[in-house]
């Protein structure tokens, strides 16, 4: 994924000195959010309100949080907005999460984690 131009009007513009994503799943969650936004599934206002609410919930639960959970919160917001707009159901997310956890736990070290169809 190329870095967005920080001077762009894109809602995804960022500081060019910011570190890259720490994990592949962070980039994937970011990209999926961008694709859903670009496809018109939600407005940027809806996204920022949802993400802000998730961050506020996390701050209330743990006022001393250090921000290292940023992309976990991003993913929570993505799940919240997609279930809130009936794009998926919570049960489907739970089933998929469980499948990935089982696959991760049973994949030999050094091998790619995949889901069986």
Can you give the residue ranges of every domain in the chain?
A: 24-106
Share of the chain above pLDDT 90, in %: 62
Which of 12, 13, 29 is CA-nearest to residue 70?
29
- For the segment 44-72, what is each residue's pLDDT rounded down to a tens digit? 999 999 999 999 999 999 999 998 899 99
The band of 4, judged by pLDDT with boundaries at 50, 70 and 90, is very low
Segment 16-29 shows an average pLDDT of 82
Tokens encoding 67 = 């921000």
Closest CA to 87 of 34, 14, 36: 36
Q: What is the pLDDT of residue 17?
A: 72
| Residue 83 predicted with pLDDT over 60 | yes
- Could you give the angle at the alpha carbon of 83 between the alpha carbons of 50 and 34, nearest 5°? 60
Is the predicted pLDDT of residue 8 greater than 70, yes or no? no
User: Which stretches of the chain are DSSP H helices?
Assistant: 24-38, 44-61, 70-84, 90-106
pLDDT given for residue 12 in this prediction = 53
């Amino acid at each position: 994924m190329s870095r967005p131009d920080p001077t762009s009007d894109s809602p995804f513009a960022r500081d060019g000195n910011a570190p890259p994503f720490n994990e592949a799943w962070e980039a994937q969650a970011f990209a999926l959010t961008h694709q859903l936004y670009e496809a018109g599934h939600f407005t940027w206002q809806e996204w920022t309100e949802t993400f802000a609410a998730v961050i506020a919930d996390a701050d209330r639960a743990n006022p001393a949080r250090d921000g290292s959970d940023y992309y976990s919160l991003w993913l929570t917001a993505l799940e919240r907005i997609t279930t809130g707009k009936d794009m998926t159901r919570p049960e489907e997310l739970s089933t998929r999460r469980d499948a990935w956890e089982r696959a991760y736990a049973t994949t030999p070290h050094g091998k790619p984690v995949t889901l069986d169809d």
